[in-house]
Amino acid sequence: MCKCLNVYLPVTPDCIIKSLYLVVQTKTLFMKSLNLTAKDVEKVKKAAALISSSLENHHTIIEVAKEVKMPEKRLKYAFKQLMGHGLYGYLQLQRMEKAKALMLEGEKIKHIVPKVGYANEANFSKAFKKVYKELPTQWRKGVLAKTG
């Protein structure tokens, strides 16, 4: 029974195959609507992995494009379409997520700063506040107060 529709749906191998076919068709149409190929998607995944694996480094679009063997303009377009952010925005968010995880582990902010690619605590705090609307120390205190 389909709980969301409150109807009985027979589940047969044919039904499953048709459903999978529709999923593949939808994904294909979506990629075509973005004018992206399967290779583009793989290269964007590789670019995202490269950025995420070395957050302490500053990655330029030129370096990333060379690494994934994709023209810069194409990488910019495909990355934004698939990831929802440009490369720099994605890097910023990944850095902030890693910083939050390290703060929750109890690491001192002065030790976190270089691990997430910032030159000093002031720049890191400013960037953190821009994303989360509060300073890192305030954020940590708030989370710790909620978790008790």
Q: What is the pLDDT of residue 35?
A: 81
Asked whether 116 and 99 are in contact (CB, 8 A), the reply is: yes
pLDDT tens-digit series, residues 23-72: 656 665 555 566 888 899 999 999 999 999 999 988 899 999 999 999 99
DSSP state of 134: S
Phi, psi of 7, deg, nearest 5: -130, 155
28 or 147, which is more confident: 147
Total number of domains in the chain: 2
Indicate which CATH number applies to the domain containing 132.
1.10.10.60
Write out the residue range of the structural domain in which residue 75 sits. 34-88
- Looking at the structure, tell me whether residues 77 and 103 fall in a common domain: no
